[in-house]
Amino acid sequence: MLRSLPLRTRVFLALAFVALVPVTLFGAIAVAQVGGGVRTEQEASVLAIARLGAQQIGSGGGFDSSTAQRLALATSKTVTILTNGGVLLGASDPAHAAALPAGFDPTAPPPVVQANGAITAYAPILGPAGQPVAVLAVSQPTAAGPEIAPLLATALVLTILLAVALSFVLARSLVRPLTEIADTLERLQAGDLTARLPVEGDDELAHLAASHNRLAAALAARNRSLQLVLEAIARLSPKDGVESTVSTAESAATDAFGFLGTRVTLGAAAADEPLEERVPGEAYAVSVPLQIGDDRVGRLTAMLTPTRDWGPADTDLLAIFGSQLAVAIRNAELYADVQSLSELKSDFLRGVSHNLQTPLTSIRAFAERLNAEENDPHLAIIVEQSQRLSRLVDQLLTVSKLEAGTLRPNVDVLALGPLVGRVWQSLGREGQPFDLRDEAPGWLVAADRDWVEQVLWALLDNAVKYGGGGAVEVGIGLGMAEDPHVVSGPCIVTTVRDHGQGVPAEDRERVFERFTRLERGNGDGHASGSGTGLGLSVARGLVRGMGGDLWLADVDPGATFAFSLPAERIEEA
């Protein structure tokens, strides 16, 4: 009930009740004071009458009731005449005749006694010789004065109680909303932006609550804007290109800030464009430059509804978005540059490859055809060497693609044994001893056939070149789990061993470096100087690209290279 009163009224009431307490107190004291005065006055007047009456009677009056009645009539008081001993001689009203107070002494100054609701003054009646012969008692009912005091006291107590109670209630009604405000602000500070104050009535507290709620709502709205802005920024990917980045950012800004529309203009000149003046009642524009440090990328301009407020905090938020957007746009531009350069490089390599491989294809096709007709060993050499040359071109391209990380294997299953045999045949070393042991016949490897072929060709070619004409041994077996080169899961390890001089200890890692050609003794001089120094490096890159590894396994006697590839068990499924 009190809460519905305006704050002003409540404060006024509280103060008023507190003020009532001293007022009532003063009133009580004043009344008490006045009451005492009245009594003294009454006592004096009764005493004076008693003295006067005693003189009158002493100077010639009868000590009987008629005298008393006469005197009572003249003074309108109750008059009683008593002997010094207290014996009643006459009374104006026998029903209310006064008695002598205990221990009455006629020679002492006449006393005034309050008793039985009356004030009675006693005066000695003096005889002719001046000796007291009788006593005159004059009585008057006590004035109403003294009865006011308890009433006042009650009023005082009640007022104090009421004042305390009211003050308490009012204080509570004043403090409670303040406590609520404090609690809500604390929740707000703790990050609960949904905390709102109840708005009751139309007083200052209600205004405070309403403006707090507006503040919280604005904070929540900005928070949401910020969240949307961050989400939008997170969505921006340089791979999408500048145009997509810009259009994503425009719609994101429109959503996040509640714009009518957003436009991003690119270019350093756009960053300096002045803004149109705001015309009241019309949609107006806000804008931030998009820049990274001093590097101007462009400008973001947005339209707002005429009624929309745009504060410094909004400007700051938009500026943050602007700077992030600038970075995203610049990244997209750089990415596009890199992409076009990379595409240029790919085009160049495609051109080189095409221009080398096309004539090789012709050479090979004609030589194969002639060889089929005439069976001239020289033609076989042309075929073999044209194949070798095109493999080297492939290797060069593979190196560049491995560097760019654009190679993706087409992983299918295949049996290694037949492939090893075919690659060995393609090397055209019919006279050289070759031994292939497949100790994992129940398994297939999961790998890219073309890649494996390249790897095998590089390893076998290497074994031929540096094997001193000795036997080349290829072993296919299941990988041992304790081998550090073996990848997780089942895998097949293929070893290629030659019987050459092996690899010197200091060169064991160098053999995999690009363009490395070691001073290793080679067999019959046939392949001398024919290597590119790329074979092992490319082979290792390809094997690793398929989830395996390639390493130098043993160097005595001869060199043994090994590579692992993920394996699949043969089961009819």
Partner 1 sequence: MATVPPLARILLVDDDPNLLVILADQLHDDGFDVTTARDGEEALRRLEEGWPDLLIVDLMMPRMDGLALARRVKERADLPIIVLSAIDSGDSKAQVLETVAEDYITKPFHYPELRARVNRVLRRVGDNVPAGALRLGPTLTLDLRRRRALVDGQAVTLTPVESRLLYALAASVGYVVTTETLLARGWAETEAPDPSYVWVTMRRLRQKLEVDADRPVYLETVRGAGYRLNRLAGDGPASDGALPPGSDPPAPSTG
Q: Which residues bind partner 1 (CB under 8 A)?
A: 343, 346, 350-351, 353-354, 356-362, 364-366, 368-369, 386-387, 390, 394, 397-398, 401, 406-415, 417-419, 421-422, 444, 446, 448-450, 568-573
Nearer to partner 1, 82 or 476 (CB): 476
Nearer to partner 1, 333 or 368 (CB): 368
Whole-number minimum distance, CB 526 to partner 1, in Å? Answer: 23
* Two tokens, residue 533: 């120094």
Whole-number minimum distance, CB 554 to partner 1, in Å? Answer: 29
Q: Is 60 left (phi over 0), alpha (psi -120 to 50) or beta?
A: left
Nearer to partner 1, 10 or 364 (CB): 364
For residue 102, the 8-state DSSP code is T
Nearer to partner 1, 84 or 353 (CB): 353
Whole-number minimum distance, CB 437 to partner 1, in Å? Answer: 17
Nearer to partner 1, 387 or 560 (CB): 387
Those residues whose C-beta lies under 8 Å from the C-beta of residue 119, and which sit 6 or more positions away, are 39, 42, 43, 46, 112, 113, 139, 140, 141, 142
Whole-number minimum distance, CB 281 to partner 1, in Å? Answer: 50
Whole-number minimum distance, CB 490 to partner 1, in Å? Answer: 12
Nearer to partner 1, 137 or 423 (CB): 423
Alpha helices in 436-572 (DSSP H): 449-466, 535-545
For the chain, count helices (H), then strands (E): 11, 15
Nearer to partner 1, 302 or 414 (CB): 414
Whole-number minimum distance, CB 454 to partner 1, in Å? Answer: 10
Maximum alpha-carbon separation in the chain: 197
Cα 47 to Cα 17: distance, rounded to the nearest angstrom: 45
Cα 140 to Cα 1: distance, rounded to the nearest angstrom: 54
- What are the C-alpha distances in Å from 561 to residues 1, 282, 428, 495, 534? 95, 79, 21, 6, 15
Whole-number minimum distance, CB 190 to partner 1, in Å? Answer: 40
Closest CA to 532 of 405, 349, 427, 389: 389
For residue 439, the 8-state DSSP code is S
